[in-house]
Chains A and B, each alone.
Chain A
Amino acid sequence: MRIFLFLLGLSCLGYVNAQTADALIQSVVAKINTVNDYKAELQIKAAIPFIKVPIADATIYYKKTDKFKVESKGIAILPKQGLSDLTGFLSNTKSYSAILGEDKTINEHKTKLVSVLPSAENSEIILAKVYISPTDALIYRTVLTTKSSGTVSIDYEYNHNKQYALPSKLTFNVDIKKFKMPKSVASDIRNNDKKKKYKENEKGTIVLVFTSYEVNKGLSDAIFKED
């Protein structure tokens, strides 16, 4: 009987935890859902092994539910995962299971870890660890483990648009795989002696600074059409 009560207690605890994890995600999704569209100016700073890139300026456009575009005059390097796909993934509550984890303080914000496991067998995201602050219902860190891009860690900072859960700064840490450039393409015969060695698990950092947000001002679908 005691064992039965213990097991019942454990399962109830698990249920409460699952409820809390879902509730935390829902609190974030509710904020995100208040955004129908937005436009913002974006400054992109990238420090990536094997790539030397100047600071790029771009304009970012988003329209519910999955229209997303980054327009830059020059060449801008962005992370493949974590920019537009995570919120869409979290919004669809049926597509994953959420488990509440430990508490953690990130940049002086007390957060709770929510581990999100996708239900679909062929989901690109294998595991998402989302650190959510229960007090302001904002994500402060996400660690995405993906099939093709390895692990991507994203740190969030907020400024004026907390009510929409729109960050003012995102810092991406991405895995960089070994760079291969055939000599026929590069043909820099002078650089024989200066070849950079690849180290295992090299990381790249991309910092996105968002300014001049225009939220829910209405964006035309034509903006999202491919050039």
Chain B
Amino acid sequence: MLLKNTYNELLKIATKIRSYIGIGALTLLIFIVLFAMKADGKSYVGFVTASFEQTLSFNGKILNGNLIAFIIMQMLIVHVPLLIALVTGDLLSGEEASGTIRMLATKPISRTGIVLSKWIAATIYTFIMTLWLGFLSLFVAKWMFGTGDLIVLNSNGLLILPEADLAWRFGASLLVAFLALWTVATLAMAFSAFAKNSVGPIVSTMSVIILFTIIGTLDVSVFDSIKPFMFTTHMAAWRSLFDDPFPTGEIIESVVILTAHIAGLLLITLVRFNKKDITS
């Protein structure tokens, strides 16, 4: 019954226009970045290497598909949560807003089953979005710009990773990015369990992300104790997969914290939906 209901939920997602807004916006954004890089990518690279250009010269193909994929992931991982929340924030509250929740509750499936099937559908949607992000940023960028070593840009300097060392890093970083987006999807669903319309959960999810991100970037010691536990701190964990030496401990910590958030938020959703007085 759970699988059948999950299938139904996937069909519901597939028939909603807003589901394609996310994928369409993601595609458009990536193609804008690809076009911009094709048109003026060299000046972007020059901007990055400018600090060293007086003393050193960089030989080889710096502007390649791997760098473009990294830049796209860096730019979009911040914005993709909004596109995810657009769909997952509607899953429970949308039923309430359209008045179908009572009918849904009369089906021979427990309330826990309803939440889980919606959550699994949200997970599949998030996974498809992540795969689409990976496909466009990696394969299309490589097709357009070719391949090569990757210059990783961070505030401590530049790290050059050899091409042969990149496939697994990109694969693993997409998995960690998926985990972060899955957390956002579950958060939006948790808000959705409390709301009666779709706008509230979407706005609330984005507000939480913005608030936590601002707290995370503030160099104030008063927040130091809570920063490691905020999921937004670990949303950029995918970047750690491009560090050298490889920070295994940091990545495991991020995976654990994100997984704990997913489990906690799912539990809150389950408790709330099971206790919900469905009157609409």
Contact = CB atoms under 8 A, between A and B. Distances in A.
Contact of B156 (A75, A196, A206): A196
Contacts of B149: 74-75
Nearest 7 Cβ contacts at the A-B interface: A50-B157, A74-B149, A75-B60, A75-B149, A76-B59, A188-B154, A186-B155
A49 B155 CA distance: 13
Contact of A75 (B160, B236, B250): B160
Nearest to A77: B56
Interface in B97-136: none
Nearest to A196: B156
Contact of B55 (A52, A70, A149, A185): A149
Nearest to B47: A185
A69 to B, nearest CB: 9
Contacts of A150: 55
A92 interface: no
Nearest to A176: B55
A178 interface: yes
18 contacts: A48-B52, A58-B59, A77-B59, A80-B53, A80-B54, A80-B55, A80-B56, A149-B55, A175-B55, A176-B55, A177-B52, A179-B52, A179-B157, A185-B48, A186-B153, A190-B233, A195-B156, A204-B56
A71 B61 CA distance: 10
A35 to B, nearest CB: 22
B148 interface: yes
B239 interface: yes
Nearest to B61: A75
Contacts of A180: 51
A80 B236 CA distance: 35
Contacts of B55: 79-81, 149-150, 152, 174-177, 204
B36 to A, nearest CB: 14
A126 to B, nearest CB: 14
Interface stretch (B1-9, B173-181, B192-200, B211-219): B211-219
Contact of B56 (A58, A74, A174, A191): A174
A106 interface: no
Interface string A157-194: 00000000000000000111111110101111111101
Q: For the side of the interface on A, what is the size category?
A: 35 or more
B154 A52 contact: no
Contacts of A1: none
Nearest to B155: A186
Contacts of A72: 59-60
Contacts of A204: 55-56
B151 interface: yes
Interface of A: 48-54, 56, 58, 70-81, 148-150, 152, 174-181, 183, 185-192, 194-196, 204, 206
B244 interface: yes
Interface of B: 47-48, 51-62, 74, 78, 148-149, 151, 153-163, 213, 216-217, 219, 233, 236-237, 239-240, 244, 250
Contacts of A76: 58-60
Query: Which of B149, B233, B240 counts the most A-chain CB atoms under 10 A from its CB?
Result: B149
Contacts of A174: 55-56
Contacts of A196: 156-157
A181 B78 CA distance: 19
A77 B244 CA distance: 18
Contacts of A175: 55
B162 A74 contact: yes
Contacts of B154: 181, 186, 188, 191
A190 B219 CA distance: 11
A75 B58 contact: yes
A221 to B, nearest CB: 20
Contact of A185 (B52, B153, B213, B237): B153
B214 to A, nearest CB: 10
A136 B59 CA distance: 33
A194 B155 CA distance: 10
Contacts of B250: 190
Contact of A52 (B148, B160, B219): B160
